[in-house]
A and B are shown apart, each in its own frame.
Chain A
Amino acid sequence: MIHFVLLLSRQGKVRLTKWYSPYSQKERTKVIHELSGLILARAPKLCNFVEWRGYKVVYRRYASLYFCMCIDADDNELEILEIIHHFVEILDRYFGSVCELDLIFNFHKAYYVLDEILIAGELQESSKKTVARLITAQLVETALMFNL
């Protein structure tokens, strides 16, 4: 299972975190700090897998953001790379050519998208079209009732 998802900027700023395993506030800060150090220091040509504390962390860099997912040691790393890409493509479709700024100012929407892709650390939907449809429907639902 995926234990947590982490989006980090090049400078180590957290853009999104989602925890599927119990980590207290303090532990979360510690984990983020450790992983930032580990992942941001890696050279570009190296493989996308890092062994950390008995888990594996799969990461991929998209422009200025690092998308990291921590999985168990016996999970399929290549699949997780695909899941990361799946997520990014859906974000792209939703925001229309997504960039980091979109994720900063509309982080809650990014979370909504993530919630349609992963639950309990497992993949929920493999069709981008379906995910997009669901998000739009909920957006309509929200717009009907509230003015943000």
Chain B
Amino acid sequence: MNPFSSGTRLRDMIKAIRACKTAAEERAVVRKECAAIRSSISENDQDYSHRNIAKLMFIHMLGYPTHFGQMECLKLIASAGFPEKRIGYLGLMLLLDERQEVLMLVTNSLKQDLGHTNQYIVGLALCALGNICSAEMARDLAPEVERLLLTRDPNIKKKAALCSIRIIRKVPDLAENFSSPATSLLKEKHHGVLIAGVQLCTDLCKVSEDASNHLRKNCTEGLVRILKDICNSPYAPEYDIAGITDPFLHIRVLRLLRMLGHGDADTSEYINDILAQVASKTESNKNAGNAILYECVETIMGIEATSGLRVLAINILGRFLSNRDNNIRYVALNMLMKAISVDSQAVQRHRTTILECVKDSDASIRKRALELVFLLVNDTNAKPLTKELIDYLEVSDQDFKGDLTSKICSIIEKFSQEKKWYIDQMVKVLSLAGNYVKDNVWHALIVAISNAPDLQGYSVRSLYKAFQLSSEQVSLVQVTIWCIGEYGEMLVNNVGVLQVEEPMTVTESDAVDVLESCLTHHSTDITTQSMCLIALLKLSSRFPPSSGRVKEIITTHIGSVVLELQQRAIEFNSIIQRHQNIKSSLVERMPVLDESTFISKRAGSSQANISTEKSNQQLPSGASLKLSNGVAKPAASPLVDLLDLSLDDTPVPTSTSNDFLHDLLDVGLTNSSSSGVASASGTDILMDLLSIGTPVQSNTTPENGSSIKAKPNTATVQVVDLLDGLASNGSHPGAQSPVHPSITAYQSSTLKITFSFTKQPDKPQVTQIHATFMNLSSEAYTDFIFQAAVPKFIQLHLDPANSNHLPASGNGRITQTFTITNTQHGQKPLAMRIRIAYKVSNQERLEQGQINNFPPGL
């Protein structure tokens, strides 16, 4: 016989499982037991079914699946004996939950058991029903339960009452049926029945308005009497807990009184006295007493109480607050949050104690206290409260800092009446917990600074000082960088010094030092580094003597592997080197950012990053001309919304740059359309110019022009330097004597194409061909596109042509360069098919041909 047959006693199985050292061992034992149980169930073994279910329950508690035992539970419930029924119901309650359909099968057994003669069996059924019945079962069996509410046996009565609670929770419509039985329960003497009855009435009030009125009319008196009795009763050993008679009943009655008195002035008046009596008489040195007081205070807050009673309540809460027991303090803080709406003055008196709680060692208490403090802040106490909170921020735990920081920032923003205080507090918060500050918070700070011209010098100096002390806080660093960039000269020349400031001299090189150290220390944070680069550019304009040093620093990043940084470095370098004339106007002071627009934008959209320069937004292609903005305008005028990038009304600072950019665009336009079969990535760069796909930064426009230089790494492409050589697209790089003679590749009555060749000595397979197109007709050609096809062993790279407009009669030419790589150089000669499309007087023409007369050796 199987040693692990169902003959094993429950105790032995438990011992065996506990003796297992590893999870695998335990699984093995459990599996064996389950197998034995399963076979026993299928053999319909009556003797051991009790034991089997007990074992299954234990296995279930360990966490293993036990659904095969569900039907066995049903069988046990249906059997005649009390022990089987008992374990069956227990198994049912543990192994099943109300959502399983198997539960419906029990309904019949339950019905029979509810009518059983043995009161304990009735009790079992009521218990099971009360714990896991579903809505359908509740509906089916409600009449039985109602009937049982009226029996004489208190045990059955109280169980039936609690079962009814579940029924009306599941099926609220049935509430009316239970109203009158519930009221009669309140006249009982047995405490168990009373507790269950009061609870039933409370739930009835929650569910049905009628029941609530009914109870209010008929039962208030009775309830008050009950409370009075137990409050004044002498020592009753059966119900005594910590010197109080039946605190549970106290609490339940108080809760029901709260529900009845809520919103009803008469009832509230009626129960005033008893509440006052309970509140003053109950001793609060033990938890039971405190529980009653807590419920009492909740009730006072929940009804229309007299002011005297309210004062009493708040005093109790004040006492709770200073109690050493953490639980009591927690409960008090919770209650005070509700009390604020009732009487905020009284709560304000306890502000100091509450502030102490913010610093408590218990996390739950800290959280509650912080929320409470936040509710308590008003205009008068905002400043001292903020100071306290910031002081605490320094020493608080890491996991609490995030919450604390965001609360402090909201307080500062809401209640700041003067800009200087706001800036001061924000600088402090940033220095202490900058890493926890959300982005929109320090963006708001920047907006505020830019709107306060008299405080700009002060701000930049405070930030500089703060930076010296806490340069690991990223947000602080970012704000400092921006401000130094914008207001650098105020920092160095001590502009706008306020009286409270200590004298401080900062030289230009100090300022540049700051930026340089940021670049090195925050080498992983691309945002910070990008901001540094542009701040350096601004400084090179504001501090002309440091321009050289700035240039050096920028140059070190030209080789950066991060595209954004490399791009910026190259562009700025180019600006410094070659475009001194426009540099100063490029980096003039940014216009004042409109605070109200900012705030509404921030409320509206989550991506309002107006004041920062790290936004990587796609600029809409139509508004690609980001002209540099002029001096700070007065706040009232319509301001630049950097996101929308609508063209500013201020005229472009220099007209030369305008034409220059215009040409640039023009060139871009034509070239982009003349991409050949294999278009060079040079074309992509120009396409980018139009759509500004690369994340180029806000206020310097010729960056767009120099973005063409931003991809120097593609080896096969001739990087077209449009700025330097606008029209000289066809110019050859370096002096390379043409080894091969030029040919006339194609000639028709309307078009002549000439090819000239250049090769580099070290690359025999690569040939550069310069094509020149000449219009032989008397009408001009427009939309001129040249395309070429080559055999498979040849690779072709086509550069953009310099124009797509070919004037008539050879008055102008179009030149285009392409590179051919002959992988079978020396074995097969070059060959090419060409196709030219153009428009003459708005009619499209197409010419095709094949070129076979390439010089040999290409």
**A residues bordering B, Cβ < 8 Å?**
14-20, 22-25, 29, 45-51, 76-79, 81-83, 86, 104-105, 107-108, 111-112, 115, 119-120, 122-130, 134, 137-138, 141-142, 145-146, 148
Contact = CB atoms under 8 A, between A and B. Distances in A.
A138 B120 CA distance: 7
A148 B50 contact: yes
Given A46-B363, A124-B195, A145-B81, A78 B99 contact: no
B764 interface: no
Given A22-B99, A120-B163, A126 B14 contact: no
A30 to B, nearest CB: 11
A78 B294 contact: yes
A18 B329 CA distance: 30
A115 B94 CA distance: 12
A47 B58 contact: no
B831 interface: no
Interface in B264-295: 287-288, 290-291, 294-295
B77 interface: no
A46 B295 contact: no
A146 B361 CA distance: 55
A2 to B, nearest CB: 11
Given A76-B251, A108-B90, A124-B159, 14 more contacts: A15-B61, A16-B61, A29-B63, A47-B329, A49-B327, A79-B251, A83-B248, A111-B90, A111-B94, A119-B159, A120-B163, A126-B246, A127-B238, A142-B86
A130 B192 contact: yes
A37 B550 CA distance: 54
B162 interface: yes
Nearest to B199: A122
Chain B CB within 10 Å — which of A111, A124, A129, A141 has the most?
A: A124
Interface in B53-81: 54, 57-58, 61-63, 65, 81
B327 A119 contact: no
A127 B295 CA distance: 21
B472 interface: no
B82 interface: yes
A5 to B, nearest CB: 11
A22 B98 CA distance: 6
A88 B329 CA distance: 25
A120 B239 contact: no
Contacts of A48: 326-327
The 3 A-B pairs with the shortest beta carbon distances in the complex, nearest first, are A78-B291, A47-B326, A119-B162
A129 B240 CA distance: 11
B357 to A, nearest CB: 11
Nearest to A146: B83
B834 to A, nearest CB: 70
Contacts of A78: 287, 290-291, 294, 327-328, 331
A146 B192 contact: no
A82 B18 contact: no
A64 to B, nearest CB: 14
A126 B248 CA distance: 7
B58 A141 contact: no
Contact of A120 (B57, B162, B249): B162
Interface in B146-203: 155, 158-159, 162-163, 165-166, 169, 191-192, 195-196, 199
Contacts of A124: 158-159, 162, 192, 195-196
Nearest to B63: A29
B291 A82 contact: yes
With most chain A CB atoms within 10 A of its CB, the pick from B83, B84, B159, B362 is: B83
Contacts of A24: 97, 99
Given A119-B162, A122-B199, A125-B158, A25 B65 contact: yes
A145 B131 contact: no
User: Chain B CB within 10 Å — which of A49, A105, A122 has the most?
Assistant: A122
A115 B126 CA distance: 11
Nearest to B325: A47
A128 B86 CA distance: 22
Nearest to B98: A22
A138 B14 contact: no
B320 to A, nearest CB: 10
Contact of A127 (B90, B130, B192): B192
A126 B97 contact: no
Contacts of B97: 19, 22-24
B246 to A, nearest CB: 5
15 contacts: A14-B62, A16-B61, A22-B97, A46-B326, A46-B363, A47-B330, A47-B365, A51-B364, A82-B287, A108-B87, A119-B127, A122-B165, A124-B196, A145-B82, A146-B84
Contacts of B126: 119
A107 B58 CA distance: 8
B413 interface: no
Contact of B81 (A19, A45, A146): A146
A141 B365 CA distance: 49
B57 A108 contact: yes
A82 B131 CA distance: 21
Nearest to B329: A47
Nearest to A107: B58
Interface string B704-738: 00000000000000000000000000000000000
A81 B291 contact: yes
Contacts of A141: 82-83, 118, 120
B550 to A, nearest CB: 53
A122 B239 CA distance: 18
A45 B326 contact: yes
B11 interface: yes
B247 interface: yes
Contact of B288 (A16, A45, A82, A111): A82
Given A47-B364, A76-B298, A127 B326 contact: no
Contacts of A125: 158, 191-192, 195
A104 B327 contact: no
Contacts of A18: 93-94, 131
B241 interface: yes
A104 B81 contact: no
Given A107-B58, A120-B131, A145-B83, A49 B162 contact: no
Interface in B327-373: 327-331, 361-365, 367
B317 to A, nearest CB: 13
A23 B50 CA distance: 26
B20 to A, nearest CB: 12
Contacts of B162: 119-120, 122, 124
A3 B633 CA distance: 63
B287 A81 contact: yes
A78 B97 CA distance: 29
Contacts of B291: 76, 78-79, 81-82
A29 B158 CA distance: 32
Given A22-B98, A77-B327, A141-B82, A129 B362 contact: no
A128 B192 CA distance: 11
Contacts of B57: 107-108
Nearest to A15: B61
Contacts of A115: 90, 127, 131
Nearest to A32: B63
B528 to A, nearest CB: 36
B241 to A, nearest CB: 7
Interface string B791-818: 0000000000000000000000000000
Contacts of A134: 155
A46 to B, nearest CB: 5
A19 to B, nearest CB: 7
A137 B38 CA distance: 33
Contacts of A119: 126-127, 130-131, 159, 162-163, 166
Interface in B665-722: none
B833 to A, nearest CB: 68
A119 B99 CA distance: 19
A126 B192 contact: yes
Contacts of B362: 45-47
A104 B120 contact: no
B117 to A, nearest CB: 13
